[in-house]
Structure 1
Amino acid sequence: MNDTYFTIGMAGHIDHGKTSLTKALSHVDTDRLKEEKERNISIELGYAPLQIEEGINISIVDVPGHERFIRQMIAGVAGIDLVVLVIAADEGVMPQTKEHLEILEFLGIEHCIVAISKIDRVDEELLELVTEDIKDGLKGTIFHDDPFVYVDSLSGRGLDHMRQTIVSQLKTVESRDAYGSFRLPVDQVFTVQGQGTIVRGTIYEGIVEKGSQLRLLPNGNKVKARQIQVHHKEQDRALAGQRTAINLGGVDTEEVSRGDVLVASDHFLVTDLIDVSLQFVESLSIPIKQRQPVRIHVGTSEVMGKIVFFDRNEVKQEKEEVLCQVKLEENVVVRRGDRFIIRRPTPVETLGGGWVIQPKGGKYRFGQETIEMLQQKKESTPEDLLEDVLSRHMILDVQQLIQYTSLDEHILESAVTKGMEQGYVLEVSRRKYSLMKIFIKLKDEITSQLQSYHHDFPMRLGISKAELVQSFGEVYPKSLIEYSINALVEQEELRKEGQFISGASFQPHLPEKWKQRMVEVINSLKKDGLAVKKWDEYLMNTAIPKNECSEMPFFLIQTNQAYRLTDELLIHRTAVDESASILMEETGDTFSLKEAKDALNISRKYLIPFLELLDQLTYTVRLDDKRKWKSKELNDSTS
């Protein structure tokens, strides 16, 4: 059997026996501070290991019960798997008990044991009355069917039953994800002389190993796990569900505070604007107004913020969930699904709680449209979330997808695999993804742009790839554009010749309107053989527009109908072929400039550029003052 790790919390009203029960079960006194001893109340969180059954490893968190220490209580229960709600038999349900119950429900704690403590102080009749009172207090809560245990920490009565109940309840709890990205919200920071900075917390997910390179959020400091302890015992690693102390290298104690989050990857977002699903307590003493200042407790963080409503301007009494935003004054680290509590700063009271729909909220308009959007996000499956973030960002790698969806890495990769199998997710490059619908949209836009380009410039081979990529660069990521172009070429929907991209069926051609006049110009060029005029002279008095005139040389060259003899002279391919054939017949394997002039009977004005052209076409190679035929046959360069 693999070991499992759980954290249970002792919660309840002040002086109802939480610390005593913890000590009776674990033999550890969790009141550490002198002030706690003197006043007989818990101020800071207390922790103790509990080993009841082989393979089940438990950390007990003894959370403060006094109203003034409620923030420590929230930080303590944020990472627990099971709560033990301690209620003294001689006092019953107290106001603090009710507030703790509300907080536990808002934090999504689903498993509870009701421990009725100090039973030796009351008789059977009073115990029955207290039990009924507690059952009435639990009606309508998620804990109404949870087990009751009767204990007395001093005499030891009921402790065995308590241990058995803890084990049976924990066996119904799903263990935390040890395979996710490591995350430990810090709830205690201190220093030990000679060792430096030490942080404590409950590992929410993942594994940390001795020597691991970590990052402390939200400030982003890089740190190293120099030493790991679990309940004062040094370990090589610690994993999800364990209460852990880590000696950090690379950071001073003053740079770390409660609420910071220790992580091992870049999968976590730092944010100050969260979309949330919020539920309020049954009775609010004062209505909550639009942009009401609140104190939000999430993980071990405690941050001021403002509530932003989109379908109302205040809440007086509301049983249903409210979809809204919390705008924070400081950055926090949260993932989708994380639970939180909101409290009024003054007068101090718990207002409600809920869960994070989206860690990185946006700016939305007031109105039903925003509510419908948030409702859709709230109900989204992992596949829906994947499609949503890809729709907004177009192309993301795995790390970015984890950040924006706030999904566990394994759940995210499963959604990606499913999306690829069903054909709506594309792997654009290694572990970078987009949506098929975006690719299809971009494909249609590329095709449409090429059609327009071919219409405007029918004599060109196509548009250069760089120009095509740049033309879509303001709307689409460059890597997605290049992927789409390459994919369309592979699918033979586009054609690529050198740097030019064109439609698959497109062929450069003369514009229909000027075709007849352009053909006449080309025939004149052909007729003149090697003794051509300046190109501009062929176009004089033709009425062909200037822009079309400037396109023609490139068209003739790119379609192998002509070659550039000089900057001002163009020569028809036929003239090159015929002149090269004559020269071959009239000369041997090598020939001189004079022999070429005698064979072709042209001036040096044309002869020198023509011979250099033969070199470019690889018919000939120059050897000092002579040229040598590379082949006595016309090669493929003019075919």
Structure 2
Amino acid sequence: MYVVATAGHVDHGKSTLVRRLTGMEPDRWAEERRRGLTIDLGFAWTRLPGGRPLAFVDVPGHERFVPNMLAGAGPVAAAMFVVAADEGWRAQSAEHLAALDALGVRHGLLVVTRSDLADPEPARAQALEQLAASTLGAVPSVAVSGRTGAGLDDLLAELVGLTRRLPTPDQDADVRLWVDRSFSVRGAGTVVTGTLTAGTLTVGDTLAVAGRGEHRLVRVRGLQALGEDLRSVPGTARVAVNLRGVDRSDVGRGDALVTPDAWRETEVVDVALRYAGDELPGTLVLHVGAAAVPARVRPLGPGAARLTLDRPLPLRTGDRGLLRDPGRHQVAAGVLVLDAAPPGLRRRGAARTRARSLAPVVPEANSPATPADPADPADPAGPDESTRLAAYVAGLHLREHGLVRRDELRALGLPELPPDSLDVGAGWCADADHWADLLGRAPEELAGWEREHPLAAGMPSDVLRQRLGVPAALLPAVAGAARLLLRDGQVRRLGTEATLPPAVEKAVRAVEDDLAAEPFAAPEAARLAELGLGTRELAAAVRAGRLLRVTDTVVLLPGAPDQARRTLAALDQPFTLSQARIALGTTRRVAVPLLELLDERGVTERLPDSSRRLAPRASTSEGR
């Protein structure tokens, strides 16, 4: 489906034209039909020659109803601009064009109505000149008469050409449906309407209501497009969505239905301004999508400003809108969202610094958007510019934060990573310089910890994570890239032997000398205390592979199990505990736990009468 906003004219000539094209009445209210004046948004649709469906959003033209006009035109990518042959270019025509220009609308068609009442050529020439200076550029034009039907076939042919020039929407994109109407239907509940510009809606989908600062989830109960019940509707389309889980009073014009967790609602945005005067008022109204939100304007530098909104909106980098001065009834500036999550401006001179950081993309944003070529169905200007902008702003975020989640960047409209960034896994990306700094600091932090805690098994991983300021999910990647071993909640150097402090090394050597003479005469507690070998020192010696802990109070050399097996193999099988103790030259304090250790390792096996024998083909490397 294709959706076109009809704009420009103030009276019933425009609505009459839509009625002739579609056979439908776009003016929904009796007051509109009585006064011959469109007050609120009207909707109608038809099928073009060849079967292409086309929906019209008929917007009011009178200056009193410009906010309603913007709610309808804001989400739409194309406009059918209408002027009357007997009236020509008027003040409301200029304001409508200023709005379309500020919104960056690049696809359009000029229609001169009432050609039966006056020569259409003067009005056509005047309007084409005005349109050519806007983002619409050189558009096709056609003169028609809504009363007689003259020129309608030519208009239908031009509408077919217009739809062929429109860019193809991404049907897999995250959904953001700006609501332009909300009402209740008996037996169905709440229904909202809007223009779905991208993505796909399906019955049963769960969506979030954005724009009120709440996280309210709703379910799609039913869908209609062009008056037909459907299970699924891809963008672009005019849709009516029957919702479950929300009252009509809790969703209305200016809210949005969005894919849950895929959008970030923001109250502060940095924007580029197009066609702004020398000095903007401090408070204006931001119109974006179907929303109209008062905004405080803080200039940052040439062509850039920070907007603080009265309520949060789901905005992304690349979104277009406009600032309107309702007191003067005029468009103050076009707006291109640069950053939907900008840094705070807390220090003196922070605004100037921020302006300098945005400067490389502000000139492009301030320059008039390249009008679409009516003869070329491609849309070359938009995507490249959007990609460059997204990559640049993503780079700003990465330089500011160092590490950013990919889904957070996507929610801000920043799927494109700059060249100086890295995808570091676990859903995170990093600024290349920051990542290199982390990899350099990690071994330094570990070395400092080892100096402070020479007997520790390793540095607790959570301590390293906190000192580096990285999320837990990324610590394995940091440790691996920095050639550190992360295991059992501890961080150690990869491929290096554990070393002991000099005093501990001396004491362990004394124990090794004692055990070299009598391998199974484990030192008594008094001897260990004399040498200064407490629990921590013994644990360090065991981790270093210098001693074997049989029990908390019995330590031997690491080769003791092998030596015990050889000794026990010389005994008659089976043997008793007493025979083993005598053969090993030790006491029950050592013999009992040592034999239990050999049992566990499968070196020996205990028989029902409590005697033991060497297990067949047993090896001290088996078992634990």
TM-score range, shorter chain: 0.7 to 0.9
User: Is the contact between residue 526 and residue 571 of structure 1 (CA under 8 Å) also seen in structure 2?
Assistant: no
Q: Is 2:612 the partner of 1:627?
A: yes
Q: Is 2:227 the partner of 1:232?
A: yes
User: Is the contact between residue 78 and residue 300 of structure 1 (CA under 8 Å) also seen in structure 2?
Assistant: yes
Q: What's the offset of the Cα at 1:153?
A: 1.8
Q: What's the offset of the Cα at 1:75?
A: 0.8
Secondary structure in 2 matching 1:22: helix
State how far apart, in whole Å, the 1-side matches of 2:351 and 2:283 are: 21
Quickly say closer, same or farther: Cα 1:72–1:562, change in 2 above 3 A: same
- Give runs of aligned pairs for residues 57-96 of structure 1, distance below 5 A: 57-96=53-92
Quickly say closer, same or farther: Cα 1:588–1:382, change in 2 above 3 A: farther
Q: Is 2:304 the partner of 1:323?
A: yes
State how far apart, in whole Å, the 2-side matches of 1:222 and 1:498 are: 40
Match of 1:317 in 2: none
State how far apart, in whole Å, the 1-side matches of 2:82 and 2:560 are: 104
Q: What's the offset of the Cα at 1:351?
A: 1.6
State how far apart, in whole Å, the 2-side matches of 1:229 and 1:137 are: 37
State how far apart, in whole Å, the 2-side matches of 1:353 and 1:386 are: 23
Match of 1:394 in 2: 403
- Within the candidate set 496, 513, 519, 2:509 is matched to 519
Q: Is 2:14 the partner of 1:18?
A: yes
Q: Is 2:302 the partner of 1:307?
A: no
Q: Is 2:479 the partner of 1:485?
A: yes
State how far apart, in whole Å, the 1-side matches of 2:454 and 2:497 are: 8
Quickly say closer, same or farther: Cα 1:10–1:609, change in 2 above 3 A: closer
Secondary structure in 2 matching 1:97: helix
Residue identity over aligned pairs, in percent, reads 25
User: Is the contact between residue 593 and residue 626 of structure 1 (CA under 8 Å) also seen in structure 2?
Assistant: yes
- Give runs of aligned pairs for residues 544-563 of structure 1, distance below 5 A: 551-563=536-548
Secondary structure in 1 matching 2:32: helix
Q: What's the offset of the Cα at 1:529?
A: 4.3
Q: What's the offset of the Cα at 1:326?
A: 1.2
Match of 1:250 in 2: 245
Secondary structure in 1 matching 2:194: strand
Match of 2:265 in 1: 270
State how far apart, in whole Å, the 2-side matches of 1:448 and 1:382 are: 35
State how far apart, in whole Å, the 1-side matches of 2:465 and 2:545 are: 31
Deviation per CA, 1:546-580: give whole Å up to 9, x if none: 6x866542243234433335534433456666565
Match of 1:403 in 2: 411
User: Is the contact between residue 16 and residue 117 of structure 1 (CA under 8 Å) also seen in structure 2?
Assistant: no
Quickly say closer, same or farther: Cα 1:566–1:308, change in 2 above 3 A: same
Aligned pair count? 592
**Deviates further, 438-447 or 51-60:** 438-447
Q: What's the offset of the Cα at 1:602?
A: 4.4
Secondary structure in 2 matching 1:54: coil
Match of 2:592 in 1: 608
Q: Is 2:47 the partner of 1:51?
A: yes
Match of 2:97 in 1: 101
Match of 1:368 in 2: 352
Match of 2:539, as an amino acid? Answer: F
Match of 1:223 in 2: 218
TM-score (norm 1): 0.82
Secondary structure in 2 matching 1:145: coil
TM-score (norm 2): 0.83
- Give runs of aligned pairs for residues 533-612 of structure 1, distance below 5 A: 533-535=523-525, 537-538=527-528, 540=530, 551-564=536-549, 566-573=551-558, 581-585=566-570, 587-600=571-584, 602-612=586-596
Match of 1:341 in 2: 322
Deviation per CA, 1:518-570: give whole Å up to 9, x if none: 53454245445444443553563x7xxx6x86654224323443333553443
Quickly say closer, same or farther: Cα 1:536–1:94, change in 2 above 3 A: farther
**Deviates further, 18-27 or 56-65:** 18-27
- Give runs of aligned pairs for residues 139-288 of structure 1, distance below 5 A: 140-143=133-136, 145-218=138-211, 219-281=214-276, 287-288=279-280
**Deviates further, 447-456 or 225-234:** 447-456
Match of 2:245, as an amino acid? Answer: G
- Within the candidate set 438, 445, 450, 1:442 is matched to 438
Match of 2:494, as an amino acid? Answer: A
State how far apart, in whole Å, the 1-side matches of 2:508 and 2:361 are: 61
User: Is the contact between residue 11 and residue 65 of structure 1 (CA under 8 Å) also seen in structure 2?
Assistant: yes
Q: What's the offset of the Cα at 1:367?
A: 3.2
Q: What's the offset of the Cα at 1:637?
A: 7.1
State how far apart, in whole Å, the 2-side matches of 1:32 and 1:595 are: 106
Match of 2:36 in 1: 40
Match of 1:101, as an amino acid? Answer: L
Q: What's the offset of the Cα at 1:617?
A: 5.0
Match of 1:199, as an amino acid? Answer: V
- Give runs of aligned pairs for residues 98-137 of structure 1, distance below 5 A: 98-122=94-118, 124=119, 129-131=122-124, 133-134=126-127, 137=130
Deviation per CA, 1:359-391: give whole Å up to 9, x if none: 233323533320122335667455445555566
Secondary structure in 2 matching 1:251: coil
